[in-house]
Amino acid sequence: MKRLRHFTGGRIIPPVSDERVVVVGDAHLGYAGSGDEEAFQEFLEAVPSLGTRLLVTGDLFDFWFEYRSVIPRRPFRTLARLAALKDRGVAIEVFGGNHDRWGGDFWEKDLGIPFHREGVDLALAGRKAWVHHGDGLVEQKLGGKIIHRVTRNPLTIMVFSLLHPTAGFWLADRLSGALSEGTKTGAVLDAAAEAQQRFARSVLAGRPELQLVLLAHTHRQRLVEMEPGRFYLNAGQWVRDRQYAIITPQEIRTLTWPAQP
């Protein structure tokens, strides 16, 4: 567990918020093993004891596509847990990743959960942050760059929406390997993580108002204080490693479930 506190002049900065933000990403439910999925349900049950807000930073599902009148069957248990969590008063926001960017108004209208397809500015426990899943920002190979352009293309999305859901999900299962980080070597993922850290540094350099850049996608947990009071965070991967993070006004922690602060 890595833990950084925010100091100025030897003093911990007084809280400007009582918010505690729980951050988790890259769960890849549907691809993840049954143990990881069961642990994720337990994690969601525990969120109210961990924090006041949940931020899912993308690739919650190994595939998600929202048809106008159909939602996928496979993620039902997780969607039900998220709805129950929202009803218990936990604020939730979800980001789309390269596997599950194609959300629509189901999240907002039916679950009351904001869904972000791209990066946005958020206030997290009093910290000004820029949050993005991370795909398409520092892709290491030409193939990855092409795939991420294609999956964002409105024409691709329109054509896929015309497929019957059974055919669409069959096709997604066949193509999942092209998007999967699980098929990449550790060296490739490490290189991507280093490139992403450099990218975060450049964002902080160009936007002095930010205190935090929060990314996912590389499946590598990172917490780096780029300069006093300004951080880069990747909460890591839930799939296999069950990693997550907690952001408070006083500190940022990276953890591995079932460890709790």
Q: Rounded CA gap, 116 and 94, in Å?
A: 6
Domains annotated for the chain, with CATH where assigned, are 2-256 (3.60.21.10)
pLDDT at 14: 47
Query: Could you tell me if 218 and 134 are in contact, meaning their C-beta atoms sit under 8 angstroms apart?
Result: yes
pLDDT at 82: 97
138-191 per-position pLDDT tens digit:
765 555 555 666 667 777 767 777 777 777 777 777 666 555 554 467 788 899
Please compute the mean of the pLDDT values over residues 127-140 and round it to a whole number: 88
Amino acid code (one letter) for 149: R
28-51 per-position pLDDT tens digit:
998 888 899 999 999 999 999 999
54-97 per-position pLDDT tens digit:
999 999 998 888 877 777 778 889 999 999 999 999 999 999 99
pLDDT at 7: 41
pLDDT at 149: 67
Asked if the model's pLDDT at residue 220 lies above 60, the reply is yes
Neighbouring C-alpha atoms within 13 Å toward the C-beta of 63: 21
Q: Rounded CA gap, 78 and 225, in Å?
A: 33
Name the more confident of 231 and 6: 231
Please compute the mean of the pLDDT values over residues 105-121 and round it to a whole number: 93
Asked if the model's pLDDT at residue 11 lies above 50, the reply is no
Q: Rounded CA gap, 176 and 63, in Å?
A: 8
Q: Phi and psi at residue 89, in whole multiples of 5°?
A: 95, 10
192-201 per-position pLDDT tens digit:
999 999 999 9
